[in-house]
Amino acid sequence: MKKDTLLEIIFGTVGGLVFAIGMCMCLIPEWNMFNTGVVVSIIGFLILLCIIPIYRSGHPKKEHAPINYSIVFAWIIGIAGALLMGFGMSRIMHGIPSQTDMITGLVCGVIGLLICVLDYPIYSYFKSDK
């Protein structure tokens, strides 16, 4: 693994977590931390923006190639997993959840997380089929 790739992973993980925590601070009214959440979200977004120069330095600009459908399929799977995980999280965090909401939320969240984790192996499988 190259140093640039490791930096991209670290900045992506830290920036995503900081951004998500800031969004939670903004959107959960019981916390009463809207203004602080906006600041934390902006800091997370700026950390995520730090990935762009690192990516550009390590990846030279290429000419347009034909559409790689394995990447398109991986994006669709990743988005579906993230939406399912977000749905499960919202079922648990909305108001005072009932036991049914908790179970539904946990099941949807775990399945969504598994879909996100298995996205790269699925992409590698479809990529190797060519």
Q: Which DSSP string do the residues of 52-102 spell out, in sequence order?
A: HHHHHHHS---------HHHHHHHHHHHHHHHHHHHHHHHHHSSS--HHHH
pLDDT at 120 exceeding the cut of 80: yes
Contacts of 125 (CB under 8 A, 6+ apart): none
Tell me how far apart the alpha carbons of residues 62 and 86 are, in angstroms, rounded to a whole number. Answer: 34
pLDDT, position 44: 96
Tell me how far apart the alpha carbons of residues 4 and 58 are, in angstroms, rounded to a whole number. Answer: 6
**pTM value?**
0.53
Tell me how far apart the alpha carbons of residues 79 and 1 are, in angstroms, rounded to a whole number. Answer: 26
The domain limits of the chain are 1-61, 64-125
pLDDT at 83 exceeding the cut of 70: yes
pLDDT at 94 exceeding the cut of 70: yes
